[in-house]
Chain A
Amino acid sequence: MLCAREVSWTVGSKALVDRVTATFEPGRLSLIIGPNGAGKSSLIRLLSKQQRANAGTISYDSVNLDEINHRELAKIRAVLSQNIEIAFPLRVWEVVMMGRYPHFAGRPAATDEQACHEVMRFFDVEGMADRDYLTLSGGEKQRVHFARVLAQIWFPTPSKSRYLFLDEPLTFLDIYYQFEFMEKLQELLKRGDLIVVGVVHDLNLAARFGEQIVLLHRGRVLARGSKDEVLTRENIKAAFRLEPKLLRGDDDSIHLIFG
């Protein structure tokens, strides 16, 4: 369980994240939505300890995040950032293996190679394992980074949850791979000890896949809960300044249409 209590991050006089309280449970896909500048990426940075909060507490399995050092944290927590640029030629598998760096010193152990193979198979990038990363398309690079990030927390850690943060993971993907990636996340979540918190822009994807949705606006939580609780006409209008039409499908799905 990941808990954030009254968490704030203020730069100068501007509160990028303003007294956010939220809990994220294992096995459920949590998605953060909100307009540009709402503090989505900032919240991810706080939850993943890239940035220290000015106020409030964040705890991983009821251990205060301040008390976990970066080396230990790297074994149970992985983060997919936006726009990762590599300027040097590397094989795809070398990039994936970087995810295993927190787990070995010197040479990779057999379990590290096993993790790389399994995770590359899982994300369907094993065929390009020996290709030069720099020659890949944007979407292919993104899938390689999925594999790298998952390799980092591929095996469960006894008595600890694993944490996965995704900052706009779908940007470079076509619609097929967007759905495929979300379905793979659902598959991973079945393992039960994985906590996934992702930022997405597409509200319909959030409606389709989010088991918990957090709507941020100006650094604050405007609404949080199931899609029915969060994706209301009033909330969306307040946050995005556009009023959507909400269509309900027979299977309890929600579709948002703008314009």
Chain B
Amino acid sequence: MPSKSLGSPYAGILPVLAIAVLVIAVFSIRFGAVVISFGDMLSALRTGPSAPGMLNLTERIFLEIRLPRALACLFVGASLAMGGVLMQALFRNPIVEPGLVGTSSGAAFGASLYFVLGSVLKFHAGEWTLPIAACLGGALATACVFLVSETTQANRESTTALLLTGIAVNALFLSGVGFFSYIARDPQARSITFWNLGTLSGANWRAVIILAVVTTLGLGIGLRYARHLNSLMMGEEEALYLGVDVKRLKLTITALNVMLVAVATSITGIISFVGLIVPHLLRLMRGSDNRFLLIGGALMGALLLTLSDLAARLLLRPAELPIGIVTAAVGAPVFMALLRNRRYRF
């Protein structure tokens, strides 16, 4: 056999995904309660930064609402999908997602705690206060799930204990979120529906910058560990035989997942199913190399969430659905279909 290149199964799909993301993002910026012409977009981009006072209403909607929202959507989708890739690789289990191990509900808990008690606690880190509070909450809940399941399960390889613990810890932290929503004075972004169902309506440029930093960092670090995660597919012992420091890897990847998912959650609330389904779809299409899954996951997560956001804004126009309703309504049946047609064991 001639020495053909061994990179073949993943070729071609990433550019297609990237182009699709771009097209759908432009589409999503254009359509909504108001349709924005390309002319308005261009003129807003040209004059907006230098003379914000000169913009007309449509241009302002584009620059202050649609564009940051579309960008936030891309980054949140990418973050959630990468979180799913990382967690599934770490647990060697394709039904794990960040929401199941407590990260999202913990992040919502941390963020809602900050909203309600932030002024009392005197904890301030500027623009990063909310993301940091969400990360701490996400880390706390994730640590709870790990510690409880590690110490209760007799068989370490069993994920049943992990998932059951995840359910319990999720319920606990969501009740905390409910409590803070209940005692909160500000009715708007602090409502329990916001945290439970997720929405991108709060997206602004500050959020976009935070998300951009975190998502880029997450992808960069994730790619550095992608091959280590690949060897982990064979088990911890095999990874060690391939020279991987498994303990450090687990800690790094868990922290990375908490960062990605918690920051996204602090801005949009809990959005389910993206982290679960995106890695599945990519694996079914091509394979399980984690380099591919991370890059492809970032793209496909961005794509799916932008589509969901578009649907959320258009279905009941001019009213808006919480995006979590769309992702769950589409994601749950897709996931069940995947379960039935699975090519691989769970």
Contacts and interface: CB of A to CB of B under 8 A. Distances in A.
B238 interface: yes
Contacts of B241: 48, 50, 74, 77-79, 81
Interface string B44-83: 0000000000000000000000000000000000000000
Interface in B293-346: 343-346
B230 interface: yes
Contact of A87 (B230, B233, B284): B233
A88 B233 contact: yes
A4 to B, nearest CB: 18
B237 A102 contact: no
Question: Interface range on chain B: under 10, 10 to 19, 20 to 34, or 35 or more?
Answer: 20 to 34
Contacts of A79: 241
Given A50-B240, A75-B243, A89-B343, A98 B288 contact: no
Interface stretch (A112-120, A168-176, A219-227): A112-120
A85 interface: yes
A70 interface: yes
A70 B231 contact: no
A50 B345 CA distance: 28
Main secondary structure of the interface of B (DSSP, over half): loop
Interface string A140-183: 00000000000010000000000000000000000000000000
Nearest to B92: A87
B237 A73 contact: no
Nearest to B157: A85
A24 interface: no
Contacts of A113: 3, 5-6
Contacts of A78: 241
B344 A87 contact: yes
Most buried by B among A84, A89, A99, A152: A89
B3 A117 contact: yes
Nearest to A103: B243
Most buried by B among A50, A78, A88, A97: A88
A76 B289 CA distance: 25
B234 interface: yes
Contacts of B345: 87, 134
Interface string A79-113: 10100111111110110011101100000100001
A71 interface: yes
B242 interface: yes
B243 A87 contact: no
Interface string B220-247: 0000000100110111011011111100
A48 B346 CA distance: 31
Interface string B252-290: 000000000000000000000000000000011001110
Given A72-B243, A91-B287, A108-B6, 10 more contacts: A70-B243, A74-B241, A75-B243, A87-B93, A88-B94, A88-B344, A93-B6, A116-B6, A130-B8, A134-B345
22 contacts: A48-B241, A70-B244, A84-B234, A86-B233, A87-B233, A87-B345, A88-B92, A88-B233, A88-B344, A91-B9, A94-B6, A98-B230, A98-B234, A99-B242, A101-B230, A101-B242, A101-B243, A102-B243, A113-B3, A117-B3, A121-B1, A132-B343
